Amino acid sequence: MSASANKQSYDLPAAGLRKFWLDFSESPTAVIALFVFLIILFIAIFAPWVSPSNPYDLTSVDIMNSRLPPGSEDFSGNYYLLGTDGAGRDMLSAIFYGLRVSLGVGALSGLVALILGASVGLSAAYFGGRFETIMMRIVDIQLSFPSILMALIILAAFGKGVEKTIIALILVQWAYYARAARASALVEKNKEYVEAAKCLALGDKRIILSHIAPNCMAPLIVVGTLQTAHAISLEATLSFLGLGLPITEPSLGLLIGNGFEYMYSGDFWISIFPGIALLITIVSINLVGDQLRDMFNPRLQK
């Protein structure tokens, strides 16, 4: 069964998409934010092709070019729009590669957290009983601790590294998805189409996955957008503190951290520009998320 019983009319391919876009473009800010985000996404995906140079290719990086201010040229005529860092890397290229790492880690952890959290939330709502009580207790307890503290506990336990940072971000985020999924599944499971599916003697797994889950997607997408922005920010913070990603995977947070030591000598660009890139990324995702939330909010629906 398709989700056509659903009141939300965003699921028919062409007409739904048009309606979706009409609703979305009501806020010009959100449209600009989406546009900016798409550019960032493009840069992140195609970083090796759009960057002026490969900042991690040791043959092209010269320590003699270290800490050149923005807009300077080196002896061989290479132009550095945003200057170079302490090792002589082009900042612009380093930021492009950094975006790739930051967005990649944020998106991957968000996706796994979504799947994990939604499975827990949906099955808790569907099966109820002791399973629901215990799982939701865990969610409540976890959400009563701030994310940075949870991440610190996990990273203090596992140590730093790419997989470990991703695991930490997943463990920090899953509870938000679980709560959102359960809340909307509780409403959906009493609707007639679920009853109909039960009368057809379909299995629990099938009812949850192909009937309830698609109808709970809207709030999960909203949580997902805002959580991804949060995850990117948290990863940057952890990497800045030196607890997140290792030096071999230079995310934006790590770039900012590297620039921190040069700041007192007035070399502002090494920290500032990656920070601005991070800020633009987070703000654009947040603005898109805000608009999605308003669109899916039944109280604001016309």
Partner 1 sequence: MTAFILRRSLQSIVVLFIMSLIVFVGVNLVGDPVDMLINPEADQAEIDRVIRDLGLDRPVSEQYWYFVLNAFQGDLGRSFIFGEPALKLIVQRMPATMELALVSLLMAVVFGIPLGIYAGLKPNSKFSKTIMAGSILGFSMPTFWVGIILIMFFSVHLGWLPSTGRGDVATYFGVTSSAFTLDGLSHIFLPAFNLALFKLSSVIRLARAGTREVILQDYIKFARAKGLAESRVVRIHLLKNIMIPVITIIGLEFGSLIAFSTVTETVFAWPGMGKLIIDSIYNLDRPVVVAYLMIIVVIFVMLNLIVDILYSVLDPRVRIKGVS
Q: How many CB atoms lie within 10 A of CB 69?
A: 13
* Residue 111 near partner 1 by CB under 8 A: no
Question: How far, in Å, CA of 181 to CA of 184, rounded?
Answer: 5
Helix count and strand count (H, E) for the chain? 13, 2
Residue list 236-265, contact with partner 1 (CB under 8 A): 236-237, 240-243, 253, 256, 259-260, 263-264
Q: Which is nearer to partner 1, 212 or 226 (CB)?
A: 226
Q: Which is nearer to partner 1, 153 or 221 (CB)?
A: 153
Contact stretch for partner 1 (CB under 8 A) within 61-69, 71-79, 155-163, 205-213: 155-163
CB of 145 to partner 1, least distance (A): 6
Position of tokens 């923005």? 70
* Residue 157 near partner 1 by CB under 8 A: yes
How much helix, strand and coil, in percent to the nearest 5, is found in the chain?
75, 0, 25
Is 191 exposed, middle or buried, given 0-12, 13-18 or 19+ CB atoms closer than 10 A?
middle
Contact stretch for partner 1 (CB under 8 A) within 101-109, 142-150, 182-190, 195-203: 142-150
Q: Which is nearer to partner 1, 131 or 145 (CB)?
A: 145
Contact stretch for partner 1 (CB under 8 A) within 41-49, 73-81, 198-206, 235-243: 235-243
Binding mask 169-208 for partner 1 (x = CB under 8 A): ----------------------------------------
> Of 39, 131, 146, 183, which one interacts with partner 1 (CB under 8 A)?
146
Question: How far, in Å, CA of 212 to CA of 189, rounded?
Answer: 7
Torsion angle of alpha carbons 119, 122, 125, 131, nearest 10°?
A: -10
Contact stretch for partner 1 (CB under 8 A) within 41-49, 65-73, 99-107, 271-279: 271-279
* Alpha helices (H) in 128-216, listed in sequence order: 129-143, 147-158, 162-188, 192-199, 204-206, 213-215
> Of 101, 139, 229, 245, which one interacts with partner 1 (CB under 8 A)?
229
Closest Cα partner for 99 from 15, 38, 156?
A: 38
Question: How far, in Å, CA of 173 to CA of 136, rounded?
Answer: 14
Q: Catalog residues that contact partner 1 under the rule CB under 8 A.
A: 141, 144-146, 148-149, 152-159, 229, 233, 236-237, 240-243, 253, 256, 259-260, 263-264, 266, 268, 271-272, 275, 278-279, 282-283, 286-287
